[in-house]
Structure 1
Amino acid sequence: MAEWSGFYPCTCIAVDAQAYGSNNDRRQSEIQHDLPRLLSRAAGGTGLDRSRWQIQRKGDEELAVHPMDGTEPRLVDDFIRHLVSELHEYNGLRAPAARMRLRAAIHHGPVELADNGFAGATVVTTARLLSSRHLYDALKANDGADLALLLSDDVYRSTVAGGHTTLSAMDFRRVTVQEKEYEAPAWLRVPGRNVHGPGPGGPGADQPQTPVGDGLDGGSRVRNDYRGERINVNNFAAPVDLRGGVVGFGSTGG
């Protein structure tokens, strides 16, 4: 494991199994056995070394902390993608009542290795994000989803908004987290689901507010309208990268 002294800039990722307490003893034991293995396989598929992370386990919950080393975009993007894939495979072999569904939160900031775990406001903030009702509401509204994620505003802006992942602003919904003494914006994602429809964000959810140019009039917000005179018609005969583009389909007859 990586060791450091004093407060050091770190990334924190916390996960918690949904509805753990409603399971019987044998199922709870199985979850505690399987959860760290799913996380390790997801990290391995991403090329991240979990042996270098400081990990604090608590039954159905895990908090992992590691010094910031440039891998944060991969954690936000690739690790979550691999984890969703691992959960999909795992749950596909089980009855609906035996599925493992996870809430996850990622934040960064100064952390100290203390005598009984971790110290610092960064760890507290991560815990508040993980406890947010927005994650519970998102899983309730998306019964087929295996994971719901909250990024702190700092993490979102330094990775997704900064263009360092394959994710876009439309993959997230801005929400306000209010837990105990903590109140701050965060960014909700339910992989494979549209978080901008009714329900996933729950009451009090906000609309996306990250500046995203629409290419039409220099505006700074996502636009849902279009202008016919600005449409270009193209014929493609080879693979095309259309990420960030808007595509329409029609016949040659109009």
Structure 2
Amino acid sequence: MAAWPDFYPCTCIAVDAQGYGSNNDRRQSEIQHDLPRLLDRAARRAGLDRAQWQIQNKGDEQLAVRPVDGKEPRLVDDYIRHLASELREFNALRVPAARMRLRAVIHQGLVELADNGLAGTAVVATARLLNARPLYEALAAYPEADLVLLLSDDVFRSMVVGRHTTLLPEDFTRVAVEVKEYEATAWLRVPALGAPAVSSHQPGTTETGRSVDPAPGEPAAVRPGPAVAGGSDGAGGSDGAGGSDGAGGSDGADISNQYGADQISVTNIAGSVDARGAVFGFGSSGG
């Protein structure tokens, strides 16, 4: 196990299992048995040796600290990817109630090996990030996900924005974290989605609704979905039939003749029909 004198630049990796306290004694024991083994296998597959890390265990939670040594991109990228894979394989053999779902956090800063554990504001910040509300909300919003990840702003900018991993800035959602006295910007990712998670804490506001000015060059945190064809408040437009500013279009232009495949309705009718006042269109099955 690696050791270092005084405060030293380190990477902190923390994980916590969902719903541990609601499990019975045997299930809690199983989680404590399985969790370190899953973490060890993920590290080995990523080419990392957890035997060289300082590890602080706490039941369903584990904090690991490793000195900065140039392998940080592998930790952010490969280790998390393999951990998601290990969890997926592990949970595939279990009933839903026995699944293991993890919150994970990666932060960096100065850490000291103290007499009763690990000391430093980086350790405290890692603990606060692990309890951030956006992580819990992501697990609730995406029940198919086995792992949700939060990177501190420092890690995100140095590893992801710096292009030292295969991840892209747009793979993450910017969230505001407020836990006790700790307030910070962090970056959320749900590996199972392959796309940014949508957080209820939108970029530009904190959990309490205060304004946050995005830094120049930051990626858009949540990609907007496709517009609903025809408008949001009525057939053909948002403020009335045909457009947002009046019938026929948003600026008064006639758009009634524009083709929209998603607006076509096909009805097969058998028997006689009173179609007075109706408009019919005909076409072949081949277009």
- TM-score normalised by structure 2 residue count: 0.71
Alignment CA distance shift 1:210-1:168 (3 Å): farther
2:202 paired residue among 200, 205, 213 = 205
Compared CA separation, residues 137 and 28, structure 1 to 2 (3 A)? same
CA offset at residue 192 of structure 1?
2.3
Give CA deviations for 1:148-168 in whole Å, capped at 9, x if unaligned: 010000000000000000001
Asked if the contact 1:14/1:106 (under 8 Å) is kept, the reply is: yes
User: Is the 1:176–1:185 contact (alpha carbons within 8 Å) kept by the matching residues of 2?
Assistant: yes
Where structure 1 has 5 or more consecutive residues not aligned to the other structure, the ranges are 213-219, 225-254
State the distance in 2 between where 1:15 and 1:25 align. Answer: 20
Q: Give the aligned partner of residue 41 of structure 1.
A: 41
Give 2:83's aligned residue: 83
Residue 139 of structure 1 contacts residue 148 of structure 1 at CA under 8 Å; is this kept in 2? yes
Residue 22 of structure 1 deviates from its aligned partner by 1.0
Q: 1:34 to 1:221 in 2, by over 3 A?
A: closer
Match of 1:238 in 2: none
1:38-77 map, 5 Å: 38-77=38-77
- Compared CA separation, residues 118 and 41, structure 1 to 2 (3 A): same
Q: Report deviation, 1:85.
A: 0.3
C-alpha contact (below 8 Å) 1:15/1:63 kept by paired residues: yes
Q: CA offset at residue 205 of structure 1? A: 2.7
What secondary structure sits across from 1:160 in the alignment?
Answer: helix
Conserved in 1, the CA contact under 8 Å of 2:170 and 2:220?
Answer: no
CA contact (8 A) 2:46 2:78 kept: yes
Q: 1:13 to 1:129 in 2, by over 3 A?
A: same
* Alpha-carbon distance in structure 2 between the residues aligned to 1:221 and 1:99: 33
Change (3 A) 1:191 1:125: same
Provide the aligned length of Structure 1 versus Structure 2. 215
Corresponding residue SS for 1:193: coil
Aligned to 1:25: 25
Please provide the CA RMSD for this pair.
2.1
Aligned residues: percent identity?
Answer: 67
Residue 15 (structure 2) aligns with: 15
Please list, as runs of the form range in 1=range in 2, the aligned pairs for 1:57-206 lying within 5 A after superposition. Answer: 57-193=57-193, 196=196, 200-202=198-200, 204-206=201-203
Query: Deviations along 1:115-163, whole A, 9 cap, x unmatched?
Result: 1100000000000000001100000000000000100000000000000
Moved over 2 A (4+): 194-197, 207-212, 220-224
Q: How many angstroms does 1:211 deviate by?
A: 2.6
Offset at 1:206? 1.2
Does the aligned pair in 2 maintain the 1:6–1:112 contact within 8 Å? yes
Structure 1 residues 5-46: Cα deviation after superposition (integer angstroms, max 9, x where no partner): 100000000000001111111110000000000000000000
SS class of match (2:161): coil
Q: TM-score, normalised to structure 1's length?
A: 0.80
Structure 2 CA distance for aligned equivalents of residues 73 and 129 of structure 1: 20
The higher relative CO (CA closer than 8 Å, separation ≥ 6) is in 1
Per-residue CA distance 1:65-107 (angstroms, 9 max, x = gap): 0100011111111000000000000000000010000000000
